[in-house]
Amino acid sequence: MDKMLYTAAAGAARVMEAQAIRANNLANAETTGFKADLERVNATVIPAMGNTLQTRVMAQTQSSGFSHQSGALNPTGRTLDLAIREQGLFSVMTEQGEAYTRSGTLVPDTNGQLTIDGRPVAGIDGPIVLPEYRELFVGDDGRISVLAAEGGITEEVGQLKLVNPELDTMEKGLDGLFYSRDGQPLQANEQVKVDSGFLESSNVKAVSELIASMDLSRQFEVQVKLMKSAEKLAEAGNRLLRNA
């Protein structure tokens, strides 16, 4: 009975972990540039004891990385909304060092420094600070130019650091950003191109995630019923012993 109970409890714990992954994906279905987390289940065979049959298998949820698919590009009309064509990542600075993202919502802070989600944007030559300007232009290579507020002179203020690593070499942090596995900054890639006035949507397929979440809920109910069955069997065994 104990073996049945622990097996069912382990299965229920596995389902709850999987539910957390699905819930996080659904919560970020509208997050710009979000990559859906994937789920992988590892089956671990429990060694048989004595003359018993080897029939028990424990399921464990493991991270299988994230989906590499790109989201749809949605027009916004805002110059500092950028979307990467096909493959590539924007670079931002964090307390842990350089990190990477597909989110291209660039916002200048009070000092004019460009940020993404509050984190400084990394440029080829360091942070990018915008002066006072009348108009702003972003080239497809990430070069940012402004038409000065006075004088009518167009000047380049910086170039975004765009990288294009193999996504299999990247890991996703709890903050939703991507980091290189070796912790070293990546080299800029001139082949990465951006489109101004667009944002990439999340690649989460909400319907698929919702269906998977419902299926997991049913699996959890089955595991709970198994635990209740184990409890009833244990109670019946105890009554037999008391009446013996």
Quick one: 221 and 237 in the same domain?
yes
Residues 83, 45 within the same domain: no
Give yes or no: residues 81 and 174 share one domain.
yes
The closest alpha carbon to 158, from 211, 122, 203, belongs to: 122
Q: What is the sign, positive or negative, of the torsion defined by CA atoms of 159, 161, 162, 164?
A: positive
Q: Are both 90 and 124 inside the same structural domain?
A: yes
Q: What is the extent of the structural domain holding 100?
A: 73-201
pLDDT at 193 (0 to 100) = 94
Residue 121 has a pLDDT of 95
Residues 6+ positions from 194 with CB-CB distance below 8 Å: 82, 83, 84, 85, 88, 104, 138, 140, 141, 142, 160, 162
What phi, psi does 11 have (nearest 5°)? -65, -40
How confident is the prediction along the chain (244 residues), in pLDDT tens digits per residue?
467 777 777 778 888 888 888 999 999 999 999 999 887 777 777 777 766 666 666 666 666 688 888 899 999 999 999 999 989 999 999 988 899 999 999 999 999 999 999 999 999 988 999 988 889 999 999 999 998 877 778 888 999 999 999 988 888 888 889 999 888 899 999 999 999 999 999 999 999 999 988 988 898 888 888 888 877 777 777 777 777 6
Same domain, 24 and 93: no
Q: Report the distance separating Cα 99 and Cα 165, nearest Å.
A: 12
Domain count, the chain: 2
State the pTM of this model.
0.78
* Residue 195, beta-bridge partner list: 83
**pLDDT score, position 230:** 78
Same domain for 77 and 193, yes or no, is: yes
For position 239, what pLDDT does the model report? 78
In this prediction, residue 86 carries a pLDDT of 86
